[in-house]
Structure 1
C-alpha cells in the first residue's frame, strides 16, 4: 500500500521525523532523570535520611 503525499511530501516526512526525534530525546531524558533521582534517594537512605512514605528507593512499586 503506497500513499501519495503530494507536493508537500518532504515537509510531511521531515515533520514526522522531527517529532519522532523529539519524542525519543524526551524518553531518554526521562529515563536518565529517573536513574539519577533513584540514585540520589539511595544515597540519602544510606546516610540515614528516610522517606515519609516508608518505602526504599530499591523497592518495586
Structure 2
C-alpha cells in the first residue's frame, strides 16, 4: 500500500520510474553483451576444432 506522499508524490513516483528504467536498461545491455560473448566463444571453438 502506498503512503500519502502529499506534494512529493511526483518526485517519489518519478524516482521509482527512473530506477526501474535504469534497471531495465542495464539488464538489456547485460543480455545483449551475454549473447555476443556466447556467439564469439562458439565461433572460437569452431575455429579451434577445424
TM score, norm. by length of structure 2: 0.87
Q: How many equivalent residue pairs?
A: 49
Between 1 and 2, higher relative CO (CA 8 Å, sep ≥ 6) is seen in: 1
Structure 1 unpaired stretches of 5+? 50-61
Give 1:43's aligned residue.
43
Q: CA RMSD in A?
A: 1.4
Work out the CA distance in 2 between the residues paired with 1:30 and 1:12: 27
Shift of 1:6: 1.5
Structure 2 unpaired stretches of 5+? none
Question: Whose helix proportion is higher, 1 or 2?
Answer: 2
Shift of 1:2: 4.8
TM score, norm. by length of structure 1: 0.73
| Superposed structure 1 runs of 4+ greater than 6 Å apart | none
